Amino acid sequence: MKRNYRFMKLFLTVTLFASLALSACTQKNKPTTMDIEFIRVGIFDTNGDSPGCITDAYEALRIDSMIKPEVIGAATIMSDEVFNYDLLLFPGGSGRAQTIKLGQQGMKRVQDLVIEHGMGTLGICAGSYVLSQTEGYPSLDLSGFEAIDIENDHRGHGLVKFRLTEDGKHFFPELAGKDMWFSKYYEGPVLAEPAKALFKGKSLSTMISDVHTIEGTPANMTVNRPFITASEAGKGKAVTFVGHPENTQGMRWMIPRMVRWAVNKEMITYSDQVVRPDIYQHEILYTTEQLAKQTKYFEMLWGSAEEKIEAINSLVEQSSWSAKKQVIGLIRDESPEVRLTAAKAIVEMERTDALSDLKMAVAVEKDEAVKKELERLFQALNKIVAN
């Protein structure tokens, strides 16, 4: 019995030390914040050109916990600090404003960073102009596509239809089951393959909508044109979005997905809170009539509580481009019903840039029932942000 006891004691002692050693080894190898390799994205700012587009891109990237977006200028791109970034993002606004801010040396610098150093780059709307290979336009020649019909650039905007190509279905399997999806669009470039592309680009989706709501712009220019493109440019990669999924509720995740591809990282899935492609079911083009309705609703935001509520709901339903700027202030309205309606709209539009506004609305709210609902809405919006 004593022998068995001594044997059992020895066995337990060895087992305990082995367990402790394994635990220590496991803790030692467990990744810390310092060990995690975040994807650092520099969003190019031209000092004031279309700050809303910069905000939209920044907030869309925050969906992904591994992506760390920062707003940078041309000085950073010219310095060695740029090597701290994995991808340069050129947002919506003005393509010419962005390239003139870069200057000729800055443009050559970006080309070198992508082609020779393997950096990723992504352009949205005007950023697609910047990355294009367009003769007579100050472009970076990285995407493998050229912009055409530039003289009719101001052709209109709205919620447009697009469909994935077979290549696109591999990038966005969540959208592979249907033939038509929707994204906001605001006078983005009409792309085509140049006669002799410097780099071979793939079209991941094509635009179905025919946008020519501005008088004098030609019909059938946008139909069946590349809407999302991806190319390998030397050692690096270039992605372009003609439209604005970063400002389209339910579609903002498409931006971080393509950032991951452009920097050779695993393309992960995102939560159902942000992957909501079925929100819209029909095209909404801002014709003269539609613009008049929008103007009426903007005016109603200064009307009675009932008018404000109607206007907020209508602007969201009509996918108004400027609703993102107009609605946020109404969470500070005198009417509790208006405050709640505005807060719901902010959450529905995924305006994570308004989190601080919503948090303060909760803090100053006197009506306990309203306060409780505002808190619920704040938590719902806060869950969308992964970093």
pLDDT digits (tens, 9 = 90+) for 333-382: 999 999 999 999 999 999 999 999 999 999 999 999 999 999 999 999 99
The CATH code belonging to domain 287-382 is 1.25.10
- Kindly list the domain boundaries of the chain, sorted by start residue: 39-262, 287-382
Q: How far is CA 173 from CA 176, 191, 285, in A?
A: 5, 24, 27
Residue 221 CB neighbour total at 10 angstroms: 16
42 beta partners: 70, 88
DSSP string covering 329-379: GGGG-S-HHHHHHHHHHHHHTT-GGGHHHHHHHHHH---HHHHHHHHHHHH
pLDDT at 26: 29
Tell me the whole-structure pTM to 2 decimals: 0.89
Q: What is the mean pLDDT of residues 300-304?
A: 97
Taking a C-beta distance cutoff of 8 angstroms, is the pair 127, 246 a contact?
A: no
Assess whether the region 39-262 and the region 287-382 belong to the same CATH fold. no
CATH superfamily label, 39-262: Class I glutamine amidotransferase (GATase) domain (3.40.50.880)
Q: What percent of the chain has pLDDT over 70?
A: 90
Residue 328 CB contacts under 8 Å (≥ 6 apart), including other chains: 342, 346, 351, 354, 357
Among residues 371, 330, 327, 368, the alpha carbon closest in space to that of 350 is found at 327
Residues in the chain: 387
Residue 180 reports pLDDT greater than 50: yes
Q: Which position has the token pair 């025919």?
A: 210
